[in-house]
Amino acid sequence: MAVVFERPKSLKETKFHYCPGCHHGIIHRLVAEVIDELKLQEKTIAILPVGCAVLGYEYFDVDCIEAAHGRAPAVATGVKRCRPETFVFTYQGDGDLASIGTAEIIHAAARGENISVIYVNNAIYGMTGGQMAPTTLLGQKTTTSPQGRKAELTGYPLRVCEMLATLQGVTYLERTSVHDPKHVRKTKKAIKEAFQVQLAGKGFALVEVLSACPTNWRMSPERALDFVKNQMINYYPLGVFKSLEEVE
């Protein structure tokens, strides 16, 4: 019997702990598939965040470093500067990257560090039980914005791709989503593109993936897909914000 679908080599045989309908699992798989396809497993060092993906080192079958909350881009910088021959990526949530770790991500990008960043934006703090994130949409209810996020009190959601696009050090920026198969395929393509930027020594690349957190959004997995499609993409438009051709 021919095998038509199997576990990517770069994923261990450990069951994900993610909630039903969570997109972290899909995104892990895409990252692992790209690592396999580009034959990077033996030279990859993954930097994991503090957030729901903190246990990534139990899933990715590559060398892994668990970073402090938000500091993954600085850790990745240390790794890549000492071992330029390795392939280094960070995997970070929106609380990790866009709140506590804004300084680290902006300066890694501005320096044009030759690293790849997978930025998983689910507009909420998943791991700590659904508090407001800097990416939480206006009106969105969280455990720390029970009446819905109000601009007068907490300002406006942060658009990371748009912000980083202003930096000269950045080579590749794309925002994608995984709410349907078509967009899953597009996301994989974007991740591959980003990884190839690093392999070519062309500098900083980031893929922002809009992602569902049905548990803390208090939605069924199905309704969560609708929220991504109809609410999140509205505020966070998909697309390529910067690419290699533009830079060259």
Partner 1 sequence: MSKVLMKGNEAIGEAAIKAGCRYFFGYPITPQSELPEYLSWRLPEVGGVFLQAESEVAAINMVYGAAATGVRVMTSSSSPGISLKQEGISYLAGAELPCLIINIMRGGPGLGGIQPSQSDYFQATKGGGHGDYRLIVLAPASVQEIADLVKKGFDLADHYRMPALLLGDGMLGQMMEPVDFGTETSGDKFDHAWATTGKQGREHTNIINSLYLKPEELEAHNRRLEKKYLEIMKQETMAEQYLTEDAEVVIAAYGMTARITKAAVDMARREGIKAGVFRPITLWPFPQRELNEATQKAQVVLTVEMSLGQMVEDVQLALKGRLPVEFYGRVGGMVPTAEEVLNEVKKIVKRYQEAM
Ligand X SMILES: Cc1ncc(C[n+]2csc(CCOP(=O)(O)OP(=O)(O)O)c2C)c(N)n1
- Which residues contribute to the site for ligand X (CB under 6 A)? 50-53, 69, 93-96, 120, 122, 124-128, 133, 213
State the nearest-atom distance from the C-beta of 1 to ligand X, in Å: 37
Site for ligand SF4 in 20-39 (CB under 6 A): 22, 24
Residue 67 vs 213, nearer CB to partner 1? 67
**Region binding ligand SF4 by CB under 6 A among candidate stretches 3-11, 105-113, 121-129, 166-174:** 121-129
State the nearest-atom distance from the C-beta of 120 to ligand SF4, in Å: 8
Instruction: State yes or no: residue 142 binds ligand SF4 (CB under 6 A).
Output: no
Instruction: State yes or no: residue 49 binds ligand SF4 (CB under 6 A).
Output: no
Instruction: State yes or no: residue 135 binds ligand SF4 (CB under 6 A).
Output: no
Answer with the entry of ligand SF4, ligand X, partner 1, none that 18 interacts with (C-beta below 5 to 8 A by kind): ligand SF4
Per-residue HEC secondary structure of the chain comes to CCCCCCCCCCECCCCCCCCCCCCHHHHHHHHHHHHHHCCCHHHEEEEECCCHHHHHHHCECCEEEECCCCCHHHHHHHHHHHCCCCEEEEEEEHHHHHHHCHHHHHHHHHCCCCCEEEEEECCCECCCCCECCCCCCCCCCECCECCCCCHHHHCCCCCHHHHHCCCCCEEEEEEEECCCHHHHHHHHHHHHHHHHHHHCCCCEEEEEEECCCHHHHCCCHHHHHHHHHHHHHHHCCCEEEECHHHHC
Find the binder of ligand SF4 among 216, 228, 236, 241 (CB under 6 A).
216
Residue 88 vs 194, nearer CB to partner 1? 88
Q: Residues interacting with ligand SF4, by CB under 6 A?
A: 18-19, 22, 24, 52, 122, 126-127, 213-216
